[in-house]
Chain A
Amino acid sequence: MLSQANLTAILLTLKLAVIVTLLLLLVGTPIAWWLANTRSRLKEPIEALVALPIVLPPSVLGFYLLVAMGPNGPIGKLTQSLGLGTLPFTFSGLVVASVCYSLPFVVQPIQNAFAAIEGQLLESAATLRAGPWDRFFTVAVPLAFPGFLTGGILGFAHTVGEFGVVLMIGGNIPRETRVASVQIYDYVEALEYADAHWLAGTMLGFSFIVLLTLYLFNRGKKSPL
């Protein structure tokens, strides 16, 4: 059976993933829209920056975040001057780190979906006197919905599965930063393989169901993945 400690870790993980996914949809959508439509020279550098977490080992990202959010780092100095203290070892710190880590998994599908919208549709809407906000919310967003769905699910799933970054900046505090992936690692390291199996098996089943849902939904459609 899942122990109390495992349930606590799962609930904390889900809370983190929900908050991070909502934030990512909020932050990622304007970035995706801008990337899909801009002709700026900054497009490629920004695209590369957004994609970095895909290629960087989480330990690298985690280490830089630990340094940047520490008392002598730029983010740490900012949060301290705002009276928030420093972010490592807190739930808020995990949220910030996970947003960085999962950003490309949300931005890329939405960007691709926006880019696939035919320009004529938006132009027609404009000739029918739809303002820019109106065009965005009533034409672009509904057309790009599969991209939002894919991005949301991938961002959620990646946040649930994240390990290296959380390990580097979390501090392994129960109910605050000890998420499921870290808990599994602890069990394996402590040779408590039975507990490890329960939690790892739950994660495995969960991940499969999430991906299956996504693929079933995208069946027959051009997948933005």
Chain B
Amino acid sequence: MKKLISLGGAIAIAIMTATIGHAETVNVAVATNFTAPMRAIAEVFEQATGHRLKLAFGSSGKLFAQIQNGAPFQVFLSADGVKPEKLERAALTVPGSRFTYALGTLVLWSATPGFVDDKGEILTQGDFKHLALANPKLAPYGASAIETMAALGVKNQLNPKLVLGENVSQTYQFVATGNAELGFVALSQVIKDGRIAEGSAWIVPAELHSPIRQDAVLLASGKDNAAAQALVDYLKSGKAAAVIRNYGYGLPH
């Protein structure tokens, strides 16, 4: 009987290793603005490597708080550079693993066709009631929007018209529902097949604001996880770069 059990165990183990191979599962915390490209990347990555990704989407601030309090994530894709750096200083990451996986592109967008001109002159004319942007205290896209308005010299006159979304997703909602006539959102939200899908937009020139660096980091709990390391490598690869560009993000040189 004992023999039979151990034989059964051996067969079970053999079957498991045969089907799964060296596959492992990674829990990945992803900033909401990167949802669509990350889903696309995950699909290709899983097929190519056999590893499995469990993606958790949320605002970077919330994910940061969860990681700090022991959430079981191995990789963190933040919407900014600040939070991965803070985790690094708190010794919660694998040293030297932080890198920029995408550069956000800011766009002034309206759901109404022809409302935003392709030079952003609408901002100086100011013929609207509400201008939506992500809360500059919380979201890099919001901070860049403020910098852009300051660079154009229209910040003070536009101040009373600003409405803040908690992040770019909500800002997008404010504009998409027409409650705000226009707003600063991420290009990735309004681009489809390389074109602005609907409404009208002005892609804010990069020199008007500091770069929107989105950093990723390998967390301490992912140190010995082969799949986590594989994902980090994959995010730096040319294949991932093509997907990331396709969704309206830039990449560091």
Contacts and interface: CB of A to CB of B under 8 A. Distances in A.
Interface of A: 63, 66-67, 69-73, 85-86, 88-89, 167-169, 171-173, 185-186, 188-191
Interface stretch (B173-181, B191-199, B209-217, B233-241): B173-181
12 contacts: A66-B174, A71-B179, A73-B177, A167-B166, A168-B173, A171-B163, A172-B165, A173-B163, A188-B61, A188-B65, A189-B135, A190-B138
Given A189-B59, A191-B61, A191-B64, A67 B163 contact: no
A89 B61 contact: no
B177 A66 contact: yes
Contacts of A168: 170, 173
- Lowest 6 CB-CB distances: which A-B pairs, in order? A171-B163, A189-B61, A172-B164, A70-B177, A88-B179, A71-B178
Nearest to B137: A190
Contact of B178 (A63, A70, A171): A70
Interface residues of B, number: 25
Contacts of A71: 178-179
A143 B70 CA distance: 53
Interface in B121-135: 129-130, 132, 135
A58 B242 CA distance: 38
B173 A89 contact: no
Contacts of A186: 135, 137-138, 166
Contacts of B130: 89, 171
Contacts of A189: 59, 61-62, 135, 138, 166
Contacts of A66: 173-174, 177, 179
Nearest to A192: B137
Nearest to A169: B179
B119 interface: no
A72 B178 contact: yes
A48 to B, nearest CB: 26
Helix, strand, loop or mixed for chain A's interface?
loop
A86 B179 contact: yes
Most chain B C-beta atoms within 10 Å of own C-beta, residue among A85, A88, A189 = A189
Interface in B19-76: 59, 61-62, 64-65
Contacts of A88: 174, 179
B86 A173 contact: no
A191 B163 contact: no
Given A168-B170, A188-B65, 15 more contacts: A70-B178, A72-B177, A73-B177, A89-B163, A167-B166, A171-B174, A171-B180, A172-B164, A172-B165, A173-B164, A186-B135, A186-B138, A190-B61, A190-B137, A190-B138
Given A67-B177, A171-B174, A191 B86 contact: yes
Given A66-B173, A70-B179, A172 B166 contact: yes
A175 to B, nearest CB: 12
Given A189-B62, A189-B138, A190-B61, A172 B163 contact: yes
Nearest to A178: B164
Nearest to B64: A191
Contacts of B135: 172, 186, 189
B71 to A, nearest CB: 15
Nearest to A93: B179
A189 B63 CA distance: 9
B237 to A, nearest CB: 31
Contact of A89 (B59, B170, B179): B179
Contacts of A72: 177-178
Nearest to A89: B163
A185 B162 CA distance: 19
Contacts of B177: 66-67, 70, 72-73
A189 to B, nearest CB: 3
A93 to B, nearest CB: 9
Nearest to A193: B65
Contacts of B64: 191
Nearest to A69: B179
A178 to B, nearest CB: 9
A171 B59 CA distance: 17
A171 B164 contact: yes
